[in-house]
Amino acid sequence: MPIYNAPMEDIKFVLHDVLGAEKLTEIPDFADASADLIDQILEEGAKICEEVLFPLNQSGDEEGCTWKDGDVTTPKGFKEAYDAFTQAGWCGVSADPEFGGMGLPALVNTVMQEMICSANFSFGMYPGLSQGAYEALHHFGTQEQKDTYLPKLVTGEWSGTMCLTEPHCGTDLGLLRTKAEVDGDGYKITGTKIFISAGEHDLSENIIHLVLARLPDAPEGVKGISLFVVPKFMPEDMRRNGIACGSIEHKMGIHANSTCVMNLEDAKGWLVGEPHKGLKAMFVMMNAARLGVAMQGLGIAEVAYQNGLAYAKDRLQMRALDGVKFPDKPADPIIVHPDVRRMLLTSKAFCEGSRALSYWVGMNLDISLHHEDEATRKEADDLVQLLTPIVKAYQTDMGFEVSSLAMQIHGGHGYIREYGVEQYARDARIAMIYEGTNGIQALDLVGRKMGAHMGRYLRRFFHPVQEFIETNQTDEALQEFIFPLAKSFAKLQQATAMTAQKGLKDPTEAGAASVDYLRHFALVAMGYMWIQMVKISQEKLTSINGGGEGNKEFFEAKIKTAKFFFSRMLPEADWHFKAVMAGAESLMAHNESEF
């Protein structure tokens, strides 16, 4: 049977020692969000994840959702779990108090997303989609729309979706055909949407769909898309609206989440924001969703790692290469073997490094939205804009890889259902695809973020990294970390200049470099977070050795894990650098007939 324990010690280390999240209390909106309060809330969140959501993960996968005559039933126990989750207020952690939310930093919600996705990936998508709908309406809805929908979304009585994709268009939304025609005080909307996560289910009283469609006078392409709020039931009298689930998809993973085909036939909807400006509002949902998907990658990697580690400590096979380690046993646990340790340490180094990186993004998201100083808000938003495609793509790539490593550690037992890890690989795979495939994230990075505002986004990351390297390059205790980081960072700057220069002349060059450039960037960003964790851990150990309090083993392990990252994972950046510098020729030379 699989296991999951929320990694609270590491979560608190990142929040308080690495990021200093208590600084958020300097923002008036978060004045009461003390470190103690945040810890108490997250400890309660860990309990509901471990005790309520996780026990349903494997059974929910095996049972899946069922569709009959337009209605969808979620697996046994999900309704009760959803009621417990919503009644405890977890849908409104970071929501506006004006509409019943707790008003806590989004960073708290980011941490919760990790734990929820570790415990039950499929379940987490139901409140996750509601959060995206909440954000779009909170930013762009009229006051009447906010008053109507937000309180119910905050309590979880109503849930939300985002309806973008159609059978003939996914990434290229300019091709969408769903149409909206004026109908009294609103619009009649007709069309078909596919791959709609949580589009129909039995968990909430109502489902609020945010739908992209075209008005009759809409220009062609993405400049002609509008956003509409389309409730399943009319808010004023709960009459059924003209939107229904035609079927659910039969998928590789996330079986306990309903992925729906949604048919709209003269469904009543109301415009959100301005006509033909729907993508602007939808990207509010998308950006929030992309950080959420990054947390799915981390969450699934963490639980996969925990199960791989538990198995490696328990499974007896052969003896250690340098002699017997456990003479009282018929064989040594497989954790003694170098290759098993390689897989475990790759998983551990990723989880701990990406936890720091993604929480840093989450904290800057709070600053970008709530800080009183406009310049500070802009700087934080720049960093969030730059790093969001990076954490989405890298963390979901690695979430799948770590899940695969957990299966490999289990050997044949990893391929069967009993031990549960094959589910993690199946569930993890979708995160690399939805909310913009990881290839699209790479194109976003080189096509939009790299050149934005004359490189201003890049400077928000490059400058602090350069400053850290220059400030700490003479620190003897950091030498084995600072020089590999400096080398990889210098190559990232070189790759940036080359990609920008060639991309201006030929966009294909930027596209050819994009995936390797993103991975190189991600590794440098991870190295930047890891070296900060090393520096803090060294300081903590000095304090402990001098009689101070703290978990000595935790900080020693942190430094050892960092050594693995810098010696075994960061060097991957060199390979990606060479691929970037190779240019587009070898990718684009083939004629279609030559494939």
Catalytic residue among 166, 379, 401, 435: 435
Based on DSSP, count helices (H) and strands (E) in the chain, helices before strands. 18, 9
435 included as an active-site residue: yes
- Alpha carbons 571 and 520: distance in angstroms, whole number: 10
Tell me the C-alpha distance between 492 and 40, whole Å: 40
Distance CA 128, CA 322 (A): 49
List helix spans (H) across 411-478: 421-429, 438-444, 456-472
* DSSP reduced 3-state for 20: coil
Euclidean distance between CA atoms 221 and 4, whole angstroms: 46
Residue type, 421: V
Please check whether residue 516 is in contact with residue 394, taking contact to mean a CB–CB distance below 8 angstroms.
no
Q: Counting beta carbons within 10 angstroms of the beta carbon of residue 196, is it exposed (0 to 12), middle (13 to 18) or buried (19 or more)?
A: buried
Distance of CA 443 to the CA centre of its chain: 18
HEC letters along 377-428:
HHHHHHHHHHHHHHHHHHHHHHHHHHHHHHHHHHHHHHHCHHHCHHHHHHHH
Closest CA to 197 of 136, 132, 146: 132
The DSSP symbol for 366 reads: H
CB 286 within 8 A of CB 292: no
Question: Which residues are tagged catalytic?
Answer: 435
